[in-house]
């Protein structure tokens, strides 16, 4: 009876026994020989090969693992190469002078060759709450995880089966403990072990599931999918700084549109951007949904074209609707256009960084982009010439175009600025001396921008948009 009570309590807390992390009957390990998997050393970076071979020659097990193996098996170019070994971090450091040890939660070795960093991790095992050693858990969430184990242990503690495939440098085979090869062929994303327990260990795995599904075009299997829908609120327990890192991966990996749709489908987007989600929910509010979708589509296209994308622009786009609505509310209370936008920016950013901690260097730029939307309504006299020299002008102009393309009533203003940019000096003089363009930031009023600076133009710097 006492045993059953303990098991019931453990299940509620998400702490379960090791059996909760793996199926009752694990499949037999599958060794895919060199001639049957199509993975070639020619696709592996020279730096990664150096680390693999040196570990192997020193008598340690050495495997390429994770996304690098997965992507090569899918015919994709891998972004990075991670290595797993039975050597401890200290033993790895002893082999490589160009190695540093990092991390507290996960102790890792980073071996650097120029600008390339090869990450080397020691095989890890699952641990139980209260278990002796370096593993620490709280309410089912892993806080520190330096419990070492075997290759099989390491495979079963990874998140998804497609990320638990190991390329063995000793005989060039692929080792599959969890059925990952079958899932790759089926286009299926499947959590290893019991999905609710694994999400409680680390709620960010829910975001990773969505990111991989969006990037690879895989479907999330039923058990893993159901657990996301039930446990999405666990993301509230994740530090906001970590959610910033995950947000960059979600939206700056070239598959932002697909990822965004999945995040909304699984009700995860609201965990990251609650104020934006509030406005997206209104059925009659077509504009914010169109605006966000276009912003993410433009982000994907820029990345595909090899262009830069600043998180500040993305942040400004994702939070534009809350900022716009707050500015409207302040204008109705009598605040001037620019002052209303400045106050709205402060308010919206202060609330948002409690969920996703965008660094100040990005939030300052985002607020400048918003404030520039008001400044851009001033199209007479010398102000347009001064605005051209503003370091955030290009980003603000692109933002204005995005608003117009999405259906906001600023098409006339955007057209004026396009003509002004393309005109020669005489043409600009003529445009700036003509009738002022209206539009503003959606207020419908033509107003003089308040708070503008007079005097010496600001120094120009390249603006990313």
* Residue 320 and residue 279 in contact, taking contact as beta carbons nearer than 8 Å: no
CA atoms of 393 and 368, how far apart (whole Å): 9
* Whether 194 is catalytic: no
Residues of the chain by 3-state class (helix, strand, coil), percent to 5: 55, 10, 35
The number of residues making up the chain comes to: 465
* Whether 171 is catalytic: no
* Residue 72 and residue 36 in contact, taking contact as beta carbons nearer than 8 Å: no
End-to-end CA distance of the chain: give it in Å, rounded. 64
Strand partners, 108: 102
* Whether 71 is catalytic: no
Ramachandran quadrant class, 170 (left: phi over 0; alpha: psi -120 to 50; beta: rest): alpha
* Residue 394 and residue 463 in contact, taking contact as beta carbons nearer than 8 Å: yes
- What the block records as the tokens of 97 is 């002078």
* Residue 108 and residue 89 in contact, taking contact as beta carbons nearer than 8 Å: yes
Residue of 80, 153, 182, 409 marked catalytic: 80
134 backbone dihedrals φ, ψ, rounded to 5°: -90, -10
Helix (H, G, I), strand (E, B) or coil at 389: coil
**CA nearest neighbour of 151 among 16, 37, 29:** 29
CB under 8 Å to 122, separation ≥6 — which residues?
A: 84, 85, 86, 87, 88, 89, 92, 107, 148
Residue 119 CB neighbour total at 10 angstroms: 18
- What the block records as the tokens of 285 is 């509010």
* Residue 150 and residue 128 in contact, taking contact as beta carbons nearer than 8 Å: no
Residue of 82, 145, 194, 300 marked catalytic: 82
* Residue 170 and residue 151 in contact, taking contact as beta carbons nearer than 8 Å: no
Q: What is the dihedral of CA 229, 231, 235, 236, to 10 degrees?
A: 120
CA atoms of 409 and 423, how far apart (whole Å): 24
Residue of 71, 145, 159, 202 marked catalytic: 159
- What the block records as the tokens of 322 is 């809350």
- What the block records as the tokens of 358 is 């965008």
* Residue 321 and residue 293 in contact, taking contact as beta carbons nearer than 8 Å: no
* Sequence-ordered strand ranges (E) for 259-418: none
* Residue 224 and residue 191 in contact, taking contact as beta carbons nearer than 8 Å: yes
Q: So which residues are the catalytic ones?
A: 80, 82, 159
């Amino acid at each position: 009876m006492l045993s059953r009570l303990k098991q019931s309590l453990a299940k509620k807390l998400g702490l379960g026994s090791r059996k909760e992390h793996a199926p009752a009957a694990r499949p037999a390990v599958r060794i895919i020989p060199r001639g049957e998997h199509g993975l070639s050393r020619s696709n592996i970076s020279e730096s990664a090969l150096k680390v693999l071979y040196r570990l192997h020659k020193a008598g340690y097990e050495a495997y390429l693992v994770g996304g690098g193996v997965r992507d090569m098996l899918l015919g994709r170019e891998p972004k990075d190469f991670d290595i797993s070994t039975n050597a401890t971090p200290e033993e790895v450091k002893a082999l490589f002078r160009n190695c540093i040890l990092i991390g507290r939660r996960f102790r890792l070795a980073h071996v650097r060759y120029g600008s390339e960093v090869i990450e080397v991790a020691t095989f890890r095992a699952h641990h139980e709450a209260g278990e002796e050693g370096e593993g620490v858990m709280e309410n089912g969430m892993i806080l520190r995880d330096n419990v070492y184990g075997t290759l099989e242990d390491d495979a079963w503690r990874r998140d998804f089966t497609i990320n638990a495939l190991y390329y063995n440098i000793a005989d060039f085979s692929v080792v599959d403990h969890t059925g990952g090869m079958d899932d790759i062929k089926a286009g299926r994303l499947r959590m290893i072990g019991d999905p609710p327990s694994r999400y409680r260990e680390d709620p960010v795995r829910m975001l990773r599931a969505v990111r991989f599904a969006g990037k690879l075009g895989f479907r999330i299997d039923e058990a893993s999918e159901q657990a996301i829908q039930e446990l999405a609120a666990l993301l509230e327990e994740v530090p906001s700084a970590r959610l910033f890192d995950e947000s960059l991966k979600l939206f700056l990996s070239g598959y932002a549109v697909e990822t965004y749709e999945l995040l909304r489908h699984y009700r995860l987007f609201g965990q990251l951007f609650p104020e934006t989600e509030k406005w997206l929910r209104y059925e009659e509010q077509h504009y914010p949904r169109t605006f966000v979708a276009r912003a993410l589509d433009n982000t994907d296209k820029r990345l595909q074209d090899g262009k830069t994308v600043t998180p500040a622009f993305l942040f400004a786009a994702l939070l534009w609707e809350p900022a716009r609505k707050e500015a409207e509310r302040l204008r109705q209370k009598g605040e001037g256009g620019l002052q209303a936008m400045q106050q709205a920016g402060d308010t919206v950013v202060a609330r948002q960084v409690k969920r996703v901690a965008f660094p100040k260097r990005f939030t300052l730029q985002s607020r400048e982009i918003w404030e520039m939307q008001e400044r851009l309504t001033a199209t007479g006299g010398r102000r347009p010439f001064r605005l051209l020299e503003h370091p955030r002008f290009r980003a603000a102009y692109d933002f204005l175009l995005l608003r117009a393309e999405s259906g906001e009533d600023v098409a006339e203003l955007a057209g004026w600025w396009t003509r002004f940019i393309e005109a020669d000096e005489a043409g600009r003089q003529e445009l700036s001396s003509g009738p002022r363009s209206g539009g503003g930031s959606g207020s419908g009023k033509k107003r003089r921008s308040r708070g503008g600076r007079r005097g010496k133009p600001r120094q120009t710097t390249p603006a990313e948009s």
